[in-house]
Structure formats: C-alpha cells, structure tokens
Structure 1
Amino acid sequence: MDSSFPSYVTDILLPCLLIFAIMLPKGMCALRVHCNEKDHNLLLNFKHTVTDRSHILSSWSHEQHCCEWVGVQCDNITGRVTELSLPCSPELSANTCEYDKVNCLAGELHLSSLQLEFLNYLDLRNHDFQAVTLNDCPHSCENINSSNLLYLDLSYNEDLHFDHLHWLSIFPSLERVNLSGINLQGKVDWIQLPTLLPSIKELRFDSCQLRNINPFLQYVNLTSLEFIGLSDNSFSSLLPVWLFNLSDLTFIDLSYNNFQDQFPKGLLNLQKLQTLYLKHNKLVGSIPVWLGQLEHLQEVDVTENLFSGPIPSTLGNLTSLTHLRVSSNHLGGSLPESLGQLLNLGVLEFDDNHLTGHVCERNFANLSKLTVLSVGSPGLIFEFDSLWIPPFQLEQVGLSYVVGPNLPTWLYTQTSLALLQITYSSFSLESQDKFWDLVAQVPRLYLTYNTIVADISNVLLNSTDVRLYSNQIRGTLPRLSPNVVWFNAKNNSFHGSLSPLLCQNMNERSQLIYLVLSDNFLSGELTDCWTNWKSLAIISLSNNNLAGTIPRSLSFLSNFTVLHLNKNNLLGELPLSLKNCQNLQDLDVGENKLSGYIPYWIGHNARVLRLRSNQFSGTIPPQICQLTTLIVLDFAENNIFGSIPPCLHNMKAMAFPRSSELSSICITSQGVVYKIIVSAMLHIKGQEWFYEGNLRFMRSIDLSSNNLSGMIPPDLYSLFELLSLKLSHNRFEGNIPKEIGNLKQLESLDLANNLLSGEIPQSIAQLSFLEVLDLSFNNFSGKIPLGTQLQGFAAQSYIGNPELCGVPLPKNCADQNDMKPVEENDNQENEFLLSFYMGLGVGFAIAFWGVCGAIFFNRNFRCSYFRFLYHIRDKLYVLMVLKMNRFR
C-alpha cells in the first residue's frame, strides 16, 4: 500500500477488510457448499433401513443435497455432515396416557449408517427403534471411522435392546451418552463403559431398570466424568463408594431408587459438585454439617427420605445455593436463621417434617430471589408480623399446618402466584373476600385436608385447576367460571342441589373436563343441564343422596370417559342414549335402585363396568364378550338369571398380560395435558377396597347373589390374568374342572352357596397366590386335595358339603377308609356262614333221607337199626332206676 495514504485511512480500511474476509466465506459458502457425496449416500442408506411411517425423511432425496435435508447440518466449508438431529415428538394418547410413536422412526438402527467420518452430534431420541444392528458393517465394525462423534442420544427408544454395550467402543471420542428409558436390566457391563470411552463426561442412564451398581467397588475409571444420571432405576443397595471418588463430578442424580445408607463422607471429595439429587430413597441418619463445605453446590434435593436430626446451620455458607429441598423427612429442631443468608436462593422447601419453634419474617427477610416456598410441620408455629411485606414475589407457595383464625397477611401481597397450596390447616374464610379475590388470579388452587370454616355458596371460582377436597366446607355448591378445567370438591359437607353449579348462565363455553363431588350430602335429582358442559370427560357424584332418574342429556357429552354415580338413590333404567358415549371407559352405577335389563350397548372401550346392588333383571347379554378391554365386571346382587355366555375367552384384557392397563387418562385442554388417575371402589377378598393407581393391575369378575344357573363355562378358566372370581349365591351346577389350575394369578375364589358337586380337583392346589377361598354349601365330595394353600384356610371355607372330608374339616377321610375294609370283611364272613349253614342243612337232609331209605328198603339194616334202638332204651331204663334208688 502506498505510504502516501493517510494513516487514518489505513486504520479504517484494514479492520474492514479483515471483517469482510471473515464474513465472506461464511456467507458465500452457505450458498455454494454441497453435501459430500459419500455422506449423501450414507444418509440415503440410513433412510432405506428405517421405517418412516410419517414421512419425516421425505426431504431426503436426490432433488436436494443432504445439507438442506431435515435434521442434517454440514460444515460450511467442507460440506461434510457434522450433526444429525432427528428427535421425535410422540403424541400423548388420551386412552392410555402413554406416548404414541406412530409418527416416529422405527425398525432397526444399522451402524453402517453411522459411518459419517465427521459426525460429532447424533440425536435419535424418542423414536421406536427395536435393535442396534452390528453385523451389517461392510468390514469390521471396529474399523468404522467415527472418532469425531462426541454426543450420542438414543434415549426413550423403549423397545430398543442390545446384548451388551461394547458396540459403543467404535466411538472412542464420545463425551456425552444418553441411554435413558432403555431397558438395560441384566446389562451389568454398563459400569465398565468408561473403560471403553476414556473421554466420557456425561452419562445418563435414567429409567433403565438397572439393579447392579457394585456399591463396594472402590475405583472406576471415570476420571473425566462430570455428569451422571441414574434416577428411577431398581438400585436397593448402599450408595456406591466409587461414585464419590470422581473428583470432577458436578451433577449427581440418584433419585427414585431404594438406596439405603447415610450421607456418604466421600462427598467431601467432590469439591466441584453443583447438583445433588437424592430424593425418593430410603436414606437415614442426619444431614451432615460438613455439607456446607461444598461451596459450589447450587441444588440440593433430598425430598422423601428418612433423614432425622436438625437442618444444619452450615448450609447458610453455601452462597451459590439456588435450590434447597428437604421436605418429607423426619427432620427436627428449628429452622436455622442462617438460611436467610442464601441471597441466591430461589427454591426453598422444608415442609412435612418434625420441625418445631417459630417461623417468622426474619427467616426470609433477605431472600429477594425466592420464587418457590413450601413450609409447615405440625410443631412449627407461624408468627409473621401482619405488616410485613416480603422482598420476593412467589410463583408457588405451599403452607401446611397453619393454625389460627386467619392466614398470614403477607400472602395477600403475592400477585404473581401460579400455585397456592394449603394443607392440614385450620382457619376461617368467613367474610374473607380478599382471599377469593386473590385466588381468582391463581391458575392452580389446592386447598386439601383442612378444617375450613367457610360457606362458599356465593363464590365464583375462576382458577383453572381447583382442588377443594377433604375440607369440611359447608353450604351449597359454588359457581364456576368458564375458565375452570378441573374441579374436585369431594369429601366435604356440601348440601342441596346440583342446579346452582350446573344450571348457571355462562356467556362463554365452559372448559370443564373434570367434575368430582363425591362423598358429600348433595340431594335432589340429577339436573338436565348437562348440555352446558360438553367438554366434561370425568364425572363422579358417588356417595350422595341424589334421587330420580339418569337424564338423557348426559349422552350429549362426546368426551365422556368416566361416570361414577354409585351409592345414591337413583331409579329407573340406564338411558339407551348413553350408547352414543363411545369413549366411555368406566361406568359405575352400583348401590342404587336402578332396574331394567343389563345394557348390551356398552362401548367397546369399556374397562370398568360396575352395576352391583341394584334391581337389574334378565340375562347377561352375549355382547359383553365383545368388551376386549374390560378388566372389572361386577353385576353382583341383582336379579339376573340364565347362564353365563360361553364366549368369555374374547375378553382379552383378562386373558393376556399388558393387554389393557387402565391407570390414567390424559386429556388436553387449552394446550395443557391433564393426567387423570382412574379409581374404583371394588368388593375384593370379602371387603370393599378403593383402587386408584393400582387399578391397572386388577382383573375381577363378580356375579354373586343373583339367580344364575347352568354350568360354569369352560371359557372362564382361560382368563389367565384373573385375580378375583366371585360366583357365590347362585344355582350353578356341575363340577370344578381341572382347568381351574390355569388361573395362576388368582387371589380370591368364591363359589359358595351353589349346587356344585363332584370332587375338588387337585389342580386347585396350584393356585399359589390364593388368599381367599370359599367353597362352602355345595355338594362337593371326597377328600380336600393336599396343598399348603388349601389346608391353610379355615374350615368355614368348606363347610356345608356333607360328603367332603380332610383337613381342615373335622371329618377325617382316614376313618371312612378304615370302615370300608371292615364292611368288606363282615360281608365275606356272612357269606361264609351262610354257605356253612346251607352245607349243614343239605348234609343233614342227605343223611336223614339216606338212613330212612336204608331202613325202609333193606330188611337186615332195618332189623339191626331197631335192635340198636331197643338196646339204647334198655340202657337208659336201667340208668334211670339206679338214679332213683340212690335218692331213696
């Protein structure tokens, strides 16, 4: 450059040229770069080896070069593929509350498709791959040039399986691996993975069903590991020693396991640790004071363990701490004031412990960044100044064990609340309009298990999610705004009609999907205003005093999934219009006064059908066999007659495992997914049980106390998953076939008060899970089969069968067996004596007639015979004369 140029021009021009030189390749190459041909072909090969049901890879074609394909990123200069990011977003199924992966990739994951030499990022999470295939490498898999791969995420491919993890060694540069949600049960080599991946920094094995963690292993070659996630597995040992020898760890998540140990002192070695999650375990002992020496700690969560002792005041030294959760333990003592020094604290939860003393504004005066607060224990006393204004604005607040006429006044200064939860407290809301004004702006309002003095008849509830159950609230029902999606007010003291709530005038369409008012004192008829609530999916009005008939307007609820009307005084028949509710899964109208025939129109999605304790009559319709998803069938205590339909083998949910798992229902409203836990009240094992989350495992048939007759159909014994079978108090005939031994899962069997006969089959002893057995008052005969289970039941299980014997009955089968040989001997002896006496008679007759014949037909014998008689006569005469002379 000419030196005549002014220096200021040079100073301006050179930086501009430098910036242009930097920007030029980036801009121009973005227009000119083309995908490497080898990478292009490898990606097309990957496309052809997978099943693409939703055409996710439709842009992968020869019409575009691969750098423009969905999920593919290339180097701007070389055109080589560096990233393949294709995570799937499965849709949530409303029926099962599980993710439906019909729109995700499936098939086998072929490693030959991963021979992209410059690939450093691979994300295929949430798809539906079934296997990692190793045998399709063109040469040896060890020769695959994949040394650049740094990040691998195959998480939540739930059906993905492989025999070992050694195939990961073909990516020696891996730093981050996520295999969460994949079943690795029995894959004990997971702990050896670091020897295959010397550069590993992050391991995620959450929800992998792992069991073995080698707790006493002293050392594992994980010197570079910074992040380890092992939550939601099946560990039940002590905490692993080797884990606390990894000095570079910054993140540990061992939550949702069954670890049983104390706080390991080895944590002191982890001076870089920032996050420690140990929640939902069985850890004991105290939280150590030396925990305050880990100065880099930002998050600590030990919720739901068995920790005792005080909360250490040394935690106030952790100036970087942002999250502290110690709820649901057995911690005692007072709340340390030193926690008020944690100026960066955003989440503080210490409720559900055994804390004592006072909690007041001094504990929170400096916590200006606090957004989540959960506080309360039975012995903790709230003592806040009524004029105190907190330095924080909370998003979530949980208060428990508040005792007093009023709630803390500082609560009304919180204008950003998204969740307000108050439990196990006692307070009054009479004439507290400011409380209802406050919660009107709170999306989630949870007031549960309280003693609340309040009449909320005139209150308009506006929160999206309102849970007011178990509070002893009195008065008539409140009104709901169209914004309310979830309303649960069960187990209170509400009385009066449903009309104030359901028949109100609304200018907007209601969003309500969940309505539960069970266990109150509601009366009157079921209103006919259901057409105003077409979004409703769950209705539970059980255990009230409702009367009248079931209105037809219920059939207009197209999203109808659950209907519980049991334990009321309802009359009439089930309206035929309910057959329009094809989404109905759970119908419970038991313990009413309903009549008519058993409905044949129940939708094919039904899983719980409970009509017990009514006045239904007629026969069981054969259409019941079409309910392939049914897991609970209860028609007990009605007037049903006829026989059981011989088609029960079609009820597949009771025959095959995992064919129907009713645990929850997911419903989406305004972009929010609500997970609803399905519940049912069932008569099982002679008692009434409430099933909620565990309803998914139940398989039950109860047809007891009717007028059913005929043979028990053989199909019934093909329902292999059946847990409870009750057919008592009917008129069933025939015997119990040996196929009953097929019901291996059976826990309760009641066939009492029938006309069953024959011997009890030996195969019934194979029912090793049997807890309840009642075969009383039938016509069974013979010996009770030997088996630990059968002899363990009381005699009441077998009484009323006169011909039945054996333990535990007092009638001994051995006595009967001994009597049979005696009777046989007596018969043999009688036959011998009869033959003997007959022989004597015949012999006497032959001898008599032989002598007579000789006397009459032989003269010499006759003369000799009479001379013999005369001789005997003379001897007897002389003998008598001598005897008489002696007495003289």
Structure 2
Amino acid sequence: MSRVGYFDASHNNLRGPIPSCLGTMSRLFYFNASHNNLSGQIPSCLGTMSRLVYFDASHNNLSGPIPNCLGNMSALSSLNLQGNNLSGIMPEFSKANQLRFLIVDGNKLEGQLPRSLVECTHLQVLDVGNNMMHDTFPFWLEKLPNLAVLILRKNTFYGQIKHLKRKISFPALDVLDIASNQFSGKLSVDFLQATQLRSLKIGGNKLEGKLPSSLANCNNLEVVDLGNNMIHDTFPFWLEKLPSLKVLILRGNIFYGAITRVDTKHGFPKLHILDIASNNFSGVLSNEFLQSLNAMKQVANENKANLEYIGEQNNIVQLYYQDSVTIINKGIEMFYEKVLTILTCFDVSNNSFHGRVPKEIHILRSLRVLNLSHNSLSGEIPSALDNLKDLESLDLSQNNLSGKIPPQLASLTFLEVLDLSYNQLEGSIPQSNQFNTFSNDSYRGNPKLCGTPLSRKCNEVGLPKPPSPSSRKDEEKS
C-alpha cells in the first residue's frame, strides 16, 4: 500500500472510519472516498502525507473537528469535506500551502472564519455555507487575488455589508452567495468594485434601503437574487444595462409603484426568470413592460445537445459551484440545483396590479411558468394565451377575472398545473386534452362554473344550470 498514489472509492457503500493506515501511504497524492457511509473522525495522521494534493471525503457521516494538520499540508490543493457532521471551529492555515479549493458546506462548524485564510493566496473557491458560523462580513478576504467563488450562505453572519474606510476590491470574484444570514442595514455593494461578478445572491437577510445603482457597473452579472429582504425602491429599470442578466429575483421586499417606464429599445436581452412576487407593485401590466422582456419572446432550441446551464462556461464554477434558483412552479416552491437556460418564468403574484390581463402577454412565447395570482386583475382571460405552447404552469387565482374559460387553452398540451380558483368565471369548463386531468381545486371559488370535474352540471354549453331554491339554501349554509 505504501506505493499507492491514486485512490478512488467514491460512490460505494463503504462504512466505518477512515483508516489510520493512510498515514503510511507516503506516495498518495489523490484520495476520494466521497458519497459513502464513512463515520468517525478524520485521522490526524493525514498530516504526514506530504504529497497529498486532493482530498475528498464529502457526503459521508464524519464527525468531530477538522484536524489542524489539514491546514499545514503544503501540497494540498483541494479539500472537500461538505455534507458531513463535522463540528468545532475551522483550523488555522499556514503560509506554505497551495490550497485552491476549500469546501466545507453542510456541516456543523461554528465560530469565525480563521483570519489565517489570507495566507491561502492561491485560493479560488471558499465555500462555508450551511453551517453555524458567526462573524461579520470578511472584507479582509480581498487580499486573496484569485478568489472567484465566496459562499457564506445559511450561517449567522451579521452586521452591515459596508466598509467605512474605503472601497474594497475583489478583482477575480465571480460568485458571491451570502443568502440566508443576518446581514442588516442599508444595502450597499459599492465596496465590491467586482467588475467580474457574475452571480450575486443576497436574499434572506435583513437588508434595507434602495437597490444600489453601482450594480450597473457589474457588466458580467447573470444572476441577481435579492429576495426576502426589506429593500424599498421602485422597479430597477436601469438593470437593463446588464447585457447578460438572465435571472432577476426581487421577491418578498417592499418594491412599489407602477412598472411603466421601460426602455423598450434595449430591454432585457437575456432575462428568462423574473420573479417580483410579494411586493407592493401596482398599476397595470403594461405592454411596454412585456415588450422589454426580449429573451422571453424567443423559443429556445430544445435540442438536448444544445441544452445549457447558467454558469457552465466558467470552468471553476462548473466543477465546484452550480447556480441554483428557488421559484414557485406548479403551485409549489421548487428548488433547482441547476438552472437550464430554457427555464423561463414570469411571476408577478401577490402585488396590487389591476386592469385586464394584457393579451400582449402571448408574445412571451418561451414561458414555462406564468403566475399572475393574488392581484386585482379583472376582465376575461385572453384566448391569446394559447400561443404559449411551452407553458407548464398557469396560475391566475385570487383575482377578479370574469367570463368563460377560453376553449383555446385546451391546446396547451404541456400544461401540468392550472389554477383559476377564486375568480368570477362562468360557463362550462373545456373538456379536452390537459383539462381532463385537472381537479376541482383548479376551479374552486367560481360558483358560476360548471361541468367536469365539478359536481355542477351544465344544462347547455356555456350556461350553468340554475340552482334550485333548496340547493341555494344549502350553499348559503355551507
């Protein structure tokens, strides 16, 4: 065994502890035991393995602290311990290290980030997400010239994200994910000066104030997720300046006002996920606004050989980080570990939009998810929605829509979820294709609708049978 240089036993059913005999394998440079059922502590004998470059024990049941020796291994380039039950604080790191990838996501680590991380001058990916770490924003990491991915999500980092003395530069930063922490105060990303930033996720904090216009300087931004904060601003039309923006999530803030002043000359050339649900937006859904969503007008090429995920063009991101998104799809909150560029979503639910559902919405031909629920929309459902041939989820519930359900909607053969509940719709429900699969829940709260799957029968097409006096009394009782 002392002559073994490469060891890969990943994705098996190995049990028990990592054997201490590893310390005798002086030539070992690659060790991968990920995705097993290993338990116990990581042996400190690893410190004697002077040639070890790659160590991956992720997705096991390892417990106890991370041995200090792992911070002193001069040849170690990649250390992946994510998805275990490791606890305690992170080890200190020595100057003589070659560490490029440090991933400890999904453990029970606590305390602060060790300041000795600034000695890891080769570090490109730092992922400490999903732990119990408690610290302020680590401005001092700007000293790492190659840091491309910084993930602090789902910890208890706190305080303002604002450096009081000067602006901070992260020259190589591609991904900043600090979502689901306890950052507070006015939102400011002026300190970043990270012109290479591609993915910014700061949702699930207590950030307030206006959206900083300095974001417009980050020309490479593809993903901006600011959801579930307390940001108080009008719709950020100026984000149209970002030529590569594909995902914009403003859900659960205090954005307000009408969305009418849109530069339709440029529009959003690549935006295919727009989630502005649960804010205070009002007014009508203007044709100008819909016209600005240029990427949603174009049906993507679904040839499997051409399917792409956001961020996969970056080699580092592709290997160690994958952009994800959480949206409401098909009536439930869905987490996508990878985001296909053909996933197209338009969610303006839980606002105060009024007026008619604009028939011009049919120009957004690539939509998979359309959610206009919980507003004050009125008038009829436009039959032109049948142009949305790829639509999988349509939610128009909790509005003031009236008239009949357009029979043309039966041509939407990819539609899996339909919610028209709690409106003022009337007449017979279409009886073909996907409409034969929807349950009562799709239509509840529309007393003038009739036909299968409802128990109310229609005495002729489009007209509900008048209720008898006795049944009317029963309805009043219920």
Q: TM-score, normalised by structure 2?
A: 0.85
CA–CA separation in structure 1 for the residues paired with 2:434 and 2:223: 34
Q: Is the 8 A contact 1:402 1:427 kept in 2?
A: no
The more displaced of 519-528 and 377-386 is 377-386
1:691 to 315, 332, 336: 336
**Alpha-carbon offset, residue 458 of structure 1:** 4.8
**Alpha-carbon offset, residue 488 of structure 1:** 1.3
Aligned to 2:406: 761
Q: Is the 8 A contact 1:598 1:621 kept in 2?
A: no
**Alpha-carbon offset, residue 728 of structure 1:** 0.8
- What amino acid maps onto 2:169 in structure 1? N
The alignment partner of 1:770 has SS state of coil
Q: Is the 8 A contact 1:666 1:674 kept in 2?
A: no
Aligned to 1:563: 200
Tell me if 1:607 matches 2:246: yes
| CA deviations over 1:469-523 (Å, ceiling 9, x no partner) | 112111112333332111111111111222xx323684xx621111111111222
CA–CA separation in structure 1 for the residues paired with 2:183 and 2:199: 18
C-alpha change, 1:554 and 1:702, in structure 2 (3 Å) is farther
In structure 1, the gaps of 5 or more residues are 1-363, 821-888
Aligned to 2:295: 653
Structure-to-structure mapping, 1:707-856, within 5 angstroms: 707-814=352-459
Aligned to 1:103: none
Tell me if 1:441 matches 2:441: no
CA–CA separation in structure 2 for the residues paired with 1:414 and 1:819: 82
C-alpha change, 1:759 and 1:617, in structure 2 (3 Å) is same
- What amino acid maps onto 1:632 in structure 2? I
Aligned to 1:389: 24
Structure-to-structure mapping, 1:205-354, within 5 angstroms: none
C-alpha change, 1:606 and 1:379, in structure 2 (3 Å) is closer
Aligned to 2:476: none
**Alpha-carbon offset, residue 381 of structure 1:** 3.8
Q: Is the 8 A contact 2:170 2:192 kept in 1?
A: no
Q: Is the 8 A contact 2:185 2:206 kept in 1?
A: yes
The alignment partner of 1:664 has SS state of coil
C-alpha change, 1:574 and 1:786, in structure 2 (3 Å) is same
Aligned to 2:52: 417
C-alpha change, 1:673 and 1:757, in structure 2 (3 Å) is closer
Structure-to-structure mapping, 1:359-508, within 5 angstroms: 364=1, 368=3, 370-375=4-9, 378-382=13-17, 384=19, 389-390=24-25, 393-400=27-34, 401-407=37-43, 409=45, 411-423=46-58, 424-429=60-65, 432-438=67-73, 440-456=74-90, 458-459=92-93, 463-479=99-115, 480-481=117-118, 482-498=121-137, 501-503=138-140, 506=143
| CA deviations over 1:411-466 (Å, ceiling 9, x no partner) | 33322222111121424336x4322102x531111111112133127556861111
CA–CA separation in structure 1 for the residues paired with 2:320 and 2:15: 33
**Alpha-carbon offset, residue 397 of structure 1:** 0.7
The alignment partner of 1:810 has SS state of coil
Q: TM-score, normalised by structure 1?
A: 0.47
- Tell which structure's C-alpha radius of gyration is larger: 1
Tell me if 1:543 matches 2:180: yes
Q: Is the 8 A contact 2:350 2:374 kept in 1?
A: yes
Q: Is the 8 A contact 1:595 1:614 kept in 2?
A: yes
What is the RMSD computed on CA atoms of the aligned residues? 2.8
The alignment partner of 2:340 has SS state of helix
In structure 2, the gaps of 5 or more residues are 302-306, 467-478
More helix by share: 1
CA–CA separation in structure 1 for the residues paired with 2:19 and 2:422: 68
CA–CA separation in structure 1 for the residues paired with 2:108 and 2:22: 30
Q: Is the 8 A contact 1:555 1:579 kept in 2?
A: no
CA–CA separation in structure 1 for the residues paired with 2:142 and 2:407: 66
CA–CA separation in structure 2 for the residues paired with 1:696 and 1:754: 30
CA–CA separation in structure 1 for the residues paired with 2:220 and 2:171: 13
Q: Is the 8 A contact 2:223 2:248 kept in 1?
A: yes
**Alpha-carbon offset, residue 649 of structure 1:** 4.3
Aligned to 2:156: 521
CA–CA separation in structure 2 for the residues paired with 1:646 and 1:818: 34
1:666 to 313, 321, 324: 313
Aligned residues: 444
**Alpha-carbon offset, residue 617 of structure 1:** 0.4
| CA deviations over 1:554-596 (Å, ceiling 9, x no partner) | 4521111111111111111111222222221111111111111
Aligned to 2:472: none
Q: Is the 8 A contact 1:600 1:621 kept in 2?
A: no
| CA deviations over 1:390-429 (Å, ceiling 9, x no partner) | 3x512211135443344162x3332222211112142433
Aligned to 2:216: 579
Structure 1 stretches (4+) deviating beyond 6 angstroms?
A: 672-675, 815-820
Aligned to 1:677: 322
Q: Is the 8 A contact 1:457 1:476 kept in 2?
A: no
CA–CA separation in structure 2 for the residues paired with 1:512 and 1:469: 17
CA–CA separation in structure 1 for the residues paired with 2:460 and 2:142: 80
Structure-to-structure mapping, 1:41-190, within 5 angstroms: none
| CA deviations over 1:651-693 (Å, ceiling 9, x no partner) | 3422323379543243478xx9967532111121222211132
| CA deviations over 1:22-54 (Å, ceiling 9, x no partner) | xxxxxxxxxxxxxxxxxxxxxxxxxxxxxxxxx
CA–CA separation in structure 1 for the residues paired with 2:464 and 2:169: 78
- What amino acid maps onto 1:514 in structure 2? V
C-alpha change, 1:383 and 1:762, in structure 2 (3 Å) is closer
Query: Taking every aligned residue pair, what percent have the same amino acid on both sides?
Result: 29
